[in-house]
Amino acid sequence: MLMINVFVSSVSTEQIKNLHMRFQQLCGNEKTLRKEHLENIPTLADNPIKTEIIKAFFDKRNQHNNELGSYEEIGFEEFLMVMSHFRPPSIKTSAEEKAAMRKRKVRFLFNMHDTDGDGKITLEEYRKVGIVEGLLSESESIGQEVARAIADAAMLEVASTNVPNMVREVTKITLALFLHFACPQILKDLEMESRMYVRFLDMNTANLRCGK
């Protein structure tokens, strides 16, 4: 609970209440949330990276307990923890806090790719995760093979660009590299950083869209 307080501190109680309502709505009458619950959200159905997102919710790494593996079901605390990755910074947030938040976000993204949890994204992982394929298959015209090739190219690009002071391993991306390449806007604190935030509205929006 302490951990949560640290991370969630800037999520207002109002927002937590809303999220809690939503949580209950999602898991029906049960106490915990399981994968099916999330999979049943109708609006999520078309999302190309749905599986990865759902996985991320059950990933222990995203709970910041230095544990690997994944949960079968999560309670509200865990749910909130994952959600807190996406809260926007407020005006009061200090620069360091912001940096820390950004780092957590990138970490979150990184974990999505790093399926085996060894701190490196290998080419195999990158391909397998299916994010690229998922994204590309949106536009029907591109085949799976091409998507794979794009994944390859992206990896290569990272691997082949010289970054000062960074040791690289072939076809493996470490967090630092990932940060450097995949999310430069986050790294550089550009306006674009707004991308990684979701505005949790204060008003109760759970009713606006009927849940599952």
Partner 1 sequence: MAEQWRSALLLCLLMAASSLASTGTTAPASTGNDTEHGTGTINTLPIVTWKWHHVEVPYLESHHEHGGGHNATGIAIVSFKWHHVESPYLVAVWILVCFFGKLLIEANHKITNYIPESALLICFGFILGGIVWGADKVQTFKLTPTVFFFYLLPPIMLDTGYSMPNKLFFTNLGAILIHAVIGTVWNAATLGLSLWGCHQGGAMGNIEIGLLQYLLYGSLMAAVDPVAVIAVFEQVHVNEVLFILVFGESLLNDGVTVVLFNVFDAFVSLGGGAIDAKEIIKGIVSFFVVAFGGSLLGFVFGLLMSLLSRCTKNVQIIEPGFIFVLGYLSYLTAEMLSLSSILSVVFCGICCQKYMNSNMNENSIQTVRYAMKVFANGSETMIFVFLGISAIDKAIWVWNTGFILLTLLFILIYRFIGVFILTWMLNRYRLVPISFVDQIIMGYGGLRGAVAYGLAVNLNESKIKEKNLMVCTTLLVVYFTVILQGVTMKPLVQWLKVKRAEIAEITLIEKVQNKVFDHMLIAIEDISGQIGDNYMRNKWRNFEEKWMSRLLLKPSARKQQDHLYNVFHQLNLQDAMEYVKEGERRGSLEFIRNESAFVDFKKKLGEDYEEAMPDIMADMPSNDPVSTCRRDVLPTVSLEMHEQNMRGLREAEGINAHHLLDQHLYKGRKQHRYRYSRSHLDINQDENEVQEIFQRTMRSRLESFKSGKMGVAPPKTITKHTKREPQTKMPNGKNKPYHSGDEDFEFSEGDSASGYDTSFPTRVTYRAGAGIENPAFMPDLDPSSPLHIPPWLADAGMEVNPVAPSERAQVRTPGYLHRLSSLRTNARSGETAQDRDLPTPPPHRDDDHL
For partner 1, the binding residues in 33-62 under the rule CB under 8 A are 38, 41, 43-44, 46-50, 53, 57
Stretch that binds partner 1, among 6-14, 60-68, 70-78, 179-187 (CB under 8 A): 179-187
Q: How far is the CB of 66 from partner 1 (least distance, A)?
A: 23
DSSP string, the chain: -HHHHHHHTTS-HHHHHHHHHHHHHHHTTSSSEEHHHHHT-GGGTT-TTHHHHHHHHTBGGGGTSS--SB-SEE-HHHHHHHHHTTPPP-TT--HHHHHHHHHHHHHHHHHHH-TT-SSEEEHHHHHHT-HHHHHHHTSTTS-HHHHHHHHHHHHHHHHHS--TT---BTTEEEHHHHHHHH-HHHHTT-GGGGGG-----SS--TTTS---
66 vs 101 by CB, closer to partner 1? 101
CB of 104 to partner 1, least distance (A): 14
Is residue 65 near partner 1 by the rule CB under 8 A? no
Q: Which of 4, 8, 16, 19 binds partner 1 (CB under 8 A)?
A: 19
User: Which one of 5-13, 58-66, 67-75, 140-148 is the stretch in contact with partner 1 (CB under 8 A)?
Assistant: 140-148
Identify residues 95-124 at the interface with partner 1 (CB under 8 A): 109, 112, 123
The binder of partner 1 chosen from 135, 174, 175, 176 (CB under 8 A):
135
Which is closer to partner 1, CB of 27 or CB of 66? 27
Judged by CB under 8 A, the residue of 68, 100, 156, 166 near partner 1 is 156
Q: CB-wise, 8 or 132, nearer to partner 1?
A: 132
Q: What are phi and psi of 113, to 5 degrees?
A: -85, -35
